[in-house]
Chain A
Amino acid sequence: MSKYIEMIRVRFLMMLAYRTNYYSGILIYSINIGAYYFLWTAIYGGQEEIQGLSVLQMTTYVAVAWMARAFYFNNIDREIANEIKDGKVAIEMIRPYNYLGMKTMQGLGEGLFRLLFFSVPGMLIVALLFPISFSANVTTWGLFFVSLMFSFIVNTQINLLTGIMTFFLFNNSGLIRAKRVVIDLFSGLLLPISFYPLWAQSVMTYLPFQAISYIPSMIFTEGFVGSEIYTAIALQAFWALVLIIPIQVLWLLAKKQLIVQGG
């Protein structure tokens, strides 16, 4: 276990070395959230609320969705793909740790770094510039962080799956891009799921993507209340467990038919 914690620490320190870039990143994120704020204000026009969300809640939703993204987002799918293409994966596989576990921990180290040095200061700046409502309820915050943890797990699992696909496709930059687009749309980052037409919503209930962004953001904005919150978190936990199966199956298959192209 200690080696995995060490891996989180190393990745965290690695990111710390490049922290200056993150200040420019905060600026760009703020512009991004700002533009969305004006876009949504224009969309609301005179309307009080759309699908139960007020303009204020919608702005909070957009801000928290983008800031949470900084935590759960990582590029381990691309890293795995590159390691397979370079042939490095052969060395990684004989090392005394679980390769996929190690990648997850690296992702977590990166995520924790961004959460502390990017999302927290970023959220403060955005809150100064735009009207954003923070919940005063401690339970909401607690549940939000539980939910955020699950969104990291589900997103990382999907990234692992995409990365492992490189074993079968050899070059999967297209798949990686497609995955990113699908997640942006179906996770609720761009639009809350409740804004979609009903038939689309019912399709999305059968997909794991809303566990990534929609659920934590709705908890934060208090768009979910009471038992809705617990059902939503249970859904996230469900997907986190179910996705282990395809990862393990593909990983076994991949190890069997591995062709090292270089190295």
Chain B
Amino acid sequence: MFYVSIFFQYASQYLKTRLTYRVDTIVEIFSDLLFQAVNLIFILVVFGHTSLLSGWNREEIIFIYGFFLVPYAIFSSFFNIWDFNDRYIVKGEMDRVLTRPIHSLFQIIMERMELESLFGVITGIVIMYYAGSTLGLTFAWYDTFIFVAMVLGGAFIYAGIFISLASIGFWSDSRTDIMPMMYNIGNYGRYPVDIYHRVIRFVLTWILPFAFVGVYPAAYFLKREEWYFYAFLTPVMGIVFLSLAIFLWNSGVKKYRGAGN
């Protein structure tokens, strides 16, 4: 309960800062939309030159992309920890966080949240609606709950991977450029994984399971029964990866010695 009220306190402070730099906020929302459009344009241009991508048609690929946007939006509004190492460890900010009586990870999430990214949920649903109605997909009432479970699973997977990567900072404080590039790898989960070499497919399924944030769960809604097993694994993978990440984080915090003066 305490954490909930803390969340609202942070959120209201956040809105104040956003309203101070109004032009920038609008540009930021606009740039998010642009970013989402870029990937859509990529799909559209590619399908201008081919009609099937290993058995999947244009609308199905667009649907997968629309699904991907929803967990990704949740992830990017709350887990902006890609520069954790620079911002908190190298600059010594972590010391300040640790003196306060709230879990350190929760505080950092609150300090770095970017609520305007939640706009992506709407874009994602609009894209899915468009693709779904073109494909003539039908949904049962319980699909809503499955959708929520899969979206949360996907967001947890993303969060888990990025928290684990941030935790490396507790052991080694050298600069790493892995995080920004991880965003690129995340994109490959949006395409049918059977187009890749089996090594990449294995990586995308079990090591950096980005395929669970795109093609696997979307396959359920596209009624591709051969992928149902993986689709229903999504929430499980989410919980497993997030728990592992939190465990890593907690042991990292115990190990943390501080880096500055």
Q: Are A177 and B28 in contact (CB under 8 A)?
A: yes
Interface residues of A in 26-71 (CB under 8 A from B): 28-29, 31-32, 34-35, 38-39, 41-45, 47, 50-51
Task: Tell me the B157-185 residues at the A interface (CB within 8 Å).
Answer: 174-178, 181-182, 184-185
**Could you tell me if A172 and B27 are in contact, using CB atoms closer than 8 angstroms?**
yes
Please, how many angstroms separate the alpha-carbon atoms of A185 and B40 in the complex? 11
Scoring B residues 36 to 67 as 1 if CB is less than 8 Å from chain A, else 0, what string do you get? 00100110011011101110000000000000
Please indicate the chain B residues that have their CB under 8 angstroms from the CB of A184 in the complex.
38
Asked if B200 is at the interface of the complex by the 8 Å CB criterion, the answer is yes
Min CB distance B44 to A, Å, is 9
**Contact between B49 and A185 (Cβ–Cβ < 8 Å)?**
no
A85 to chain B, nearest CB (A): 11
Q: Is the CB of A25 within 8 A of B178?
A: yes
Contact, CB under 8 Å: B49 / A50: yes
Nearest CB of chain B from residue A11's CB, rounded to whole Å: 15
- Total cross-chain contacts (CB, 8 A): 109
B188 at the interface (CB under 8 A from A): yes
Q: Mark B92-103, 1 if CB is under 8 A from A, else 0.
A: 000000000000
Q: Would you list 28 pairs from A and B whose C-beta atoms are within 8 A, ordered by A residue?
A: A21-B177, A25-B177, A25-B178, A25-B181, A28-B181, A35-B196, A39-B191, A43-B46, A43-B50, A43-B53, A45-B50, A45-B52, A47-B50, A169-B24, A169-B27, A170-B21, A171-B24, A173-B28, A174-B27, A175-B27, A178-B30, A181-B31, A182-B34, A190-B38, A190-B42, A191-B45, A191-B46, A195-B45
By a beta-carbon cutoff of 8 Å, the part of chain A in contact with chain B is 18, 20-22, 24-25, 28-29, 31-32, 34-35, 38-39, 41-45, 47, 50-51, 169-175, 177-178, 181-182, 184-185, 190-191, 195-197
Q: Which residues of A contact B28 (CB under 8 A)?
A: 173-174, 177
A35 touches B41 (CB 8 A): no
What's the Cα separation between A26 and B42 when bound, in Å? 25
Rounded to whole Å, the gap between the CB of A184 and the closest CB of chain B is: 7
- How many Å lie between the Cα of A191 and that of B50 in the bound state? 14
> Closest CB-CB distance, B123 to chain A, in whole Å?
14
B: which residues have CB within 8 A of A?
21, 23-32, 34-35, 38, 41-42, 45-46, 48-50, 52-54, 174-178, 181-182, 184-185, 188, 191, 195-197, 200, 203
A18-B174, A25-B177, A181-B31 given; A174·B24 CB < 8 A: yes
- C-alpha spacing A175/B184, complex, angstroms: 20
Give the distance to chain B from A210, nearest Cβ to Cβ, in Å: 15
How near does chain B come to A26, taking the closest CB pair, in angstroms? Answer: 10
User: In the complex the two chains form, is B176's CB within 8 Å of A171's CB?
Assistant: no
Whether A21 and B174, one on each chain, are in contact in the complex, defined by CB atoms closer than 8 angstroms, is yes
Chain A, Cβ-Cβ closest to B193? A38
The answer to whether A42 and B21 have CB atoms under 8 Å apart is no
Chain B residues near A169: list those with CB within 8 A: 21, 23-24, 27
Nearest first, the 7 closest Cβ-Cβ pairs linking A and B are A174-B28, A178-B31, A174-B27, A42-B195, A28-B181, A171-B21, A177-B31
* Cβ contacts under 8 Å, B21 to chain A: 169-171
- Given A25-B177, A170-B21, output 4 extra A-B contacts at Cβ < 8 Å: A25-B178, A28-B178, A32-B181, A174-B28
Q: How far is the CA of A38 from the CA of B193 in the complex (A)?
A: 10
Provide the bound-state CA to CA distance between A82 and B167, in Å.
26
**Which residue among A25, A34, A38, A172 has the maximum number of chain B CB atoms within 10 Å of its CB?**
A38
Could you tell me the distance in whole angstroms from the C-beta of A110 to the nearest C-beta in chain B? Answer: 12
Q: How far is the CB of B2 from chain A (nearest CB, A)?
A: 31
Residues of A within 8 Å of B23, CB to CB, are: 169
Task: Tell me which of A20, A21, A32, A178 has the highest count of chain B C-beta atoms within 10 A of its own C-beta.
Answer: A178
- Flag if A32 contacts B200 (CB, 8 Å): no
Say whether B200 contacts A29, CB under 8 Å: no
Partner among B26, B177, B200 whose Cβ is within 8 Å of the Cβ of A34: B200
Residue of A28, A35, A51, A173 near B24 (CB, 8 A) is A173
A35 CA to B178 CA in the complex, in Å? 17
Closest to A185 in B: B38
Residue of A nearest to B34 (CB): A181
Closest residue of chain B to A50, judged by CB? B49
B residues in contact with A195, CB < 8 Å: 45-46, 48-49
A262 to chain B, nearest CB (A): 16
- Tell whether, in the assembled complex, residue B34 and residue A178 are in contact, meaning their CB atoms are under 8 Å apart: yes
Q: Are B49 and A51 interface neighbours, CB within 8 A?
A: yes
Q: A35-B196, A174-B24, A191-B42 are in contact. Are A20 and B31 (CB under 8 A)?
A: no
Query: Which B residues are CB-close (under 8 A) to A51?
Result: 49
Residues in B with CB closer than 8 Å to A25 are 177-178, 181
Question: Quick check: B45 and A172 within 8 Å, CB to CB?
Answer: no
B53: nearest chain-A partner, CB-CB: A42
Tell whether, in the assembled complex, residue B177 and residue A175 are in contact, meaning their CB atoms are under 8 Å apart. no
